């Protein structure tokens, strides 16, 4: 298992496209929006500087991108190259394969968060002031919840063209309703209600509490939402991946 985790990490860090979308692009988006002073054109009053609000949201957004976009296309490559078919005849089960991959991507998610927070500290003087010890748990729940989206999409889609609409719809929808770039309180009530049961807003809120100690009254609820997506998504991903892809 450990060897497989290391293999997945090596594959990721050799993939320049994945590094760009998972590490560099989120950092670029954070810097651009921070210097644009978006808080001057939206309703924003939650007792936190906009750069700190955005930083936690971008961390969640980067984790989502890694799970949905890079995993979907990577696993489609594995299917085309018959990697999964060859592995399926070995003692390695589909569940073990996904577990090892999830551990590797969790490590990448920790690097993502560390890199982004380092940029926030250097460029804008951001400092942690929340319950930072919750952060690894929040990142674990969030990263696996979104990885499960990627596992399911790559299992159902036969190629990039078929996967692209699914990743775009899911990614854009979660990003818009994710409390990432602006507070969901700016949205109509029915959209706010939808956002509250989605993993993106829950991850963004839990990240802000862990880093800055705000919205503590919603933290337990956010953890429950993430845990629900973690459990149900893992069960669905394991079943669909085993039946549709790992064969």
pLDDT digits (tens, 9 = 90+) for 68-102: 988 888 898 888 888 888 988 888 999 999 999 99
Whole-angstrom Cα Rg for the chain: 18
Minimal CA–CA distance to 207: which of 178, 171, 244, 186? Answer: 178
Q: What is the mean pLDDT of residues 195-202?
A: 94
Residue 103 has pLDDT above 80, yes or no: yes
Q: Please say if the pLDDT value at position 7 is more than 60.
A: yes
Closest CA to 140 of 99, 93, 103: 103
Phi, psi angles (nearest 5°) of residue 60: -65, -40
How many degrees, rounded to 5, is the angle at CA 27 between CA 9 and CA 66? Answer: 40
Residue 39 has a pLDDT of 62
pLDDT of residue 40: 64
Higher pLDDT, 149 or 129: 149
Contact 156, 240 (CB under 8 A): yes
What is the structure's pLDDT at 102?
Answer: 96
Mean pLDDT computed over 166-176: 90
Asked if residues 198 and 177 have their Cβ atoms less than 8 Å apart, the reply is: yes
8 Å CB contact between 175 and 199:
no
CA–CA distance, 151 with 15 (Å, rounded to integer): 19
> Taking residues 109-113, what's their average pLDDT?
94
Cβ count within 10 A of residue 26: 23
Cα–Cα distance measured from residue 38 to residue 40, given in angstroms and rounded to the nearest whole number: 5
Please check the confidence at residue 43 and state whether its pLDDT lies above 70.
Answer: no
Query: What is the structure's pLDDT at 42?
Result: 62
Q: Which residue has the higher pLDDT, 11 or 139?
A: 139
Express as a percent the part of the chain with pLDDT over 90: 50
Check residue 41 and give its pLDDT: 57
Instruction: Report which of residues 247 and 107 the model is more confident about.
Output: 107
Query: Do 8 and 100 form a contact (C-beta atoms < 8 A)?
Result: yes
């Amino acid at each position: 298992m450990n060897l497989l985790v290391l293999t997945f990490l090596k594959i990721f860090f050799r993939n320049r496209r994945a590094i760009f979308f998972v590490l560099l692009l989120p950092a670029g988006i954070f810097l651009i929006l921070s210097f644009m002073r978006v808080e001057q054109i939206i309703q924003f009053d939650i007792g936190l500087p906009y750069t700190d609000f955005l930083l936690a949201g971008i961390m969640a957004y980067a984790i989502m991108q890694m799970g949905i976009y890079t995993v979907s296309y990577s696993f489609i490559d594995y299917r085309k190259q018959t990697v999964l078919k060859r592995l399926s005849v070995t003692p390695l089960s589909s569940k073990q394969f996904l577990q090892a991959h999830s551990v590797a991507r969790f490590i990448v998610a920790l690097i993502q968060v560390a890199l982004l927070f380092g940029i926030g500290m250097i460029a804008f003087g951001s400092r942690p002031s929340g319950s930072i010890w919750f952060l690894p748990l929040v990142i674990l729940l969030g990263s696996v919840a979104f990885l499960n989206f990627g596992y399911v999409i790559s299992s159902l889609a036969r190629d990039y063209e078929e996967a692209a609409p699914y990743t775009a719809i899911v990614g854009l929808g979660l990003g818009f309703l994710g409390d990432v770039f602006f507070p969901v309180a700016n949205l109509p009530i029915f959209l706010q209600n939808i956002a509250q049961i989605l993993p993106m807003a829950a991850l963004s809120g839990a990240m802000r509490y862990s880093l800055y100690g705000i919205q503590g009254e919603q933290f337990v609820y956010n953890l429950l939402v993430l845990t629900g997506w973690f459990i149900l998504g893992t069960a669905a991903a394991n079943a669909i991946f085993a039946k549709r892809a790992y064969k």
